[in-house]
A = this chain, B = another copy of it.
Amino acid sequence: MKAAPRRGLPIFEAAVQVFSEKGFANTSIDEVAQRAGVAKGTIYYNYRSKKGLFVALIEEGIERLEKVINRELARRDEVIAQLQAVITAHFSFFDEHRDYCRLLLSEVWGLGHRWEKQVERLRTGPIRAIRNVLERGQAAGVIRRDIEVESAAVALFGAVAVTALNWVLFQGRSRFDEVAHTLKGIFLRGCQAHAADKDRETPVNGWEPAARPVGV
């Protein structure tokens, strides 16, 4: 089990930095070693391979994100409050760990087949947690029943991730809480079952079933 770092965690931290700056393929072990202040061989002494190092990084990140989300969920009972908290936590996490945000989005999510295992972990971890909340909400009648929870959870994850990345990269004039506020505003209201909706199962705006019309 060579996967554990040495003393502190210089290699680990250095790797996160470099990987997130340059992406997996453009990161050289040489640079990680240099940034960590160790010899190149040392990295191979601690991690099986470049890929092994990367995977260790990613999994650690997913676990942390999952933990954060679950912690926030555990602190609340009500579904709506939980959703609010999830979005805040999620967004904060990406804001604090821009590195992970980039890696998760660009390397892991985008090139699915190459990191299948890790994508699966994302889907069964953080996204599943969100999904569960939505399902409980549907059962309790506070979440609309005409949305498909799986897609909604993924959409929420995607919206937060992409928005966070955008905010981090091009931090415009909008403040952090404004952005989070907007996200919550859209998603909560979008998912919430209003009093008036409870009896009808049809969407508010009667759109047609989207018969794949648009081409290029």
User: What is the interface of chain A, defined by CB distance below 8 A to chain B?
Assistant: 21-26, 64, 67-68, 72, 80, 84, 88-89, 91-93, 95-97, 102, 105-107, 109-114, 119, 123, 144, 146-148, 150-152, 154-163, 165-167, 169-170, 172, 174, 176-192, 203-205, 207, 209-216
User: With A161-B162, A165-B110, A174-B150 in contact, is A183–B155 under 8 Å at CB?
Assistant: yes
Which single residue of chain B is at the shortest CB-CB distance from A97? B216
Contact of A185 (CB < 8 Å), options: B96, B119, B203: B203
A58 to chain B, nearest CB (A): 13
Give chain B residues whose Cβ lies under 8 Å from the Cβ of A190.
185-191
B105–A186 contact, CB under 8 A?
Answer: no
B185–A146 contact, CB under 8 A?
Answer: yes
A134 to chain B, nearest CB (A): 11
Give chain B residues whose Cβ lies under 8 Å from the Cβ of A158.
158-163, 166
B210–A181 contact, CB under 8 A?
Answer: yes
Which single residue of chain B is at the shortest CB-CB distance from A24? B25
A130 to chain B, nearest CB (A): 13
Give chain B residues whose Cβ lies under 8 Å from the Cβ of A92.
210, 212-215
Bound Cα distance from A189 to B167, whole angstroms = 24
Give chain B residues whose Cβ lies under 8 Å from the Cβ of A93.
214, 216
This chain: copies in complex: 4
Contact of A179 (CB < 8 Å), options: B151, B156, B183: B151
Give chain B residues whose Cβ lies under 8 Å from the Cβ of A191.
186, 190
Bound Cα distance from A25 to B163, whole angstroms = 25
Contact of A186 (CB < 8 Å), options: B113, B152, B157, B178: B152
Which single residue of chain B is at the shortest CB-CB distance from A203? B185
Give chain B residues whose Cβ lies under 8 Å from the Cβ of A207.
84, 181, 184
A109–B177 contact, CB under 8 A?
Answer: no
Give chain B residues whose Cβ lies under 8 Å from the Cβ of A114.
22-23, 26
Interface centre among A23, A157, A158, A165, by most chain B C-beta atoms within 10 angstroms, is A158
Bound Cα distance from A165 to B44, whole angstroms = 34
